[in-house]
């Protein structure tokens, strides 16, 4: 019968052997290509440029089996079903490696038509008289408390709920109410005047967009390749955004 110290050593040995097995599988190459499985969790509503990058990644690694799962839920890495995830959140889960890609302000917006009909809220308390388009916290429950820049929160009442921010954006564009959305998603709509900021200096927060993976001693080659591809995509997006501003 194993002692407590022996049990710990046994568990660590099993983890090490599994890492070696995965390494042998993933670095087995045919024609210089990484092979094996890559299981990725992505939030819904990724940009067309990201989807294009993902298709290029698949073409670049033809021996790699890529599994994409799209959900706003924060997946649990402990069950071993995923290797890496892309997350957009104001807080990151402890026990994971999170490589921040960029930070994006989250602001409240509404269409000019909606604001002309319902009025422009002057204070957070005025939101009680407005139709709010509400996201789902961690993809599960309505996020009924919106953040204030002061660090406090304000309770809102929703008329439309979705874990897909592109749907919330569409609803705002169609004058269905006020939505709290990442600025990167709505920048062009604001520039074109299709959406207007609401309580710009009072309501909002900052979202951290990060690529997240378990805290492992050995990083699978396919995970490293995917992270490198995402980082390169972000660099191109930032450069393109700066050129549009200039």
Strand, coil or helix: what is 129? helix
Cβ pair 229, 99 in contact under 8 A: no
pTM higher than 0.85:
no
The β-bridge relationship of strands 136-137 and 36-42 is unpaired
Q: Which domains does the chain have, with CATH numbers?
A: 4-102+208-245 (3.40.190.10), 104-206 (3.40.190.10)
Tens digit of each residue's pLDDT (9 = 90 or more) over 129-141: 999 999 887 667 8
Cβ pair 222, 34 in contact under 8 A: yes
Q: Of 62-66, 67-71, 81-85, 213-217, where does the model show the most confidence?
A: 62-66
22 confidence band (pLDDT: 50, 70, 90): low
CA-based nearest residue to 38, from 213, 162, 196 = 213
């Amino acid at each position: 019968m194993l002692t407590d110290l022996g049990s710990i050593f046994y568990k660590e040995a099993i983890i090490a052997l599994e890492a070696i097995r995965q390494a042998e599988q993933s670095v087995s190459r045919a024609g210089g290509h990484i092979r094996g499985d890559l299981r990725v969790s992505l939030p819904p509503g990724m940009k067309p440029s990201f989807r294009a990058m993902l298709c290029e990644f698949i073409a670049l690694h033809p021996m790699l089996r890529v599994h994409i799962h799209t959900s706003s839920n924060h997946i649990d890495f402990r069950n071993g079903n995923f290797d890496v995830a892309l997350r957009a959140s104001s807080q990151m889960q402890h026990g994971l490696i999170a490589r921040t890609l960029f930070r994006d302000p989250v602001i409240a917006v509404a269409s000019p038509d909606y604001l002309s009909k319902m009025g422009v809220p002057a204070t957070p308390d005025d939101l009680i008289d407005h139709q709010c388009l509400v996201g789902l916290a961690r993809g599960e429950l309505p996020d009924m408390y919106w953040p204030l820049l002061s660090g406090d929160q304000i309770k809102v009442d929703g008329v439309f709920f979705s874990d897909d921010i592109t749907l919330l954006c569409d609803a705002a564009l169609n004058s269905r109410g006020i939505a709290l959305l990442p600025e990167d998603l709505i920048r062009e709509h604001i520039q074109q005047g299709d959406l207007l900021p609401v309580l710009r200096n009072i309501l909002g927060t900052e979202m951290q967009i990060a690529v997240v993976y378990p805290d492992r001693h050995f990083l699978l080659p396919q995970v490293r390749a995917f992270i490198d591809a995402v980082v390169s995509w972000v660099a191109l997006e930032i450069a393109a955004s700066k050129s549009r501003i200039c």
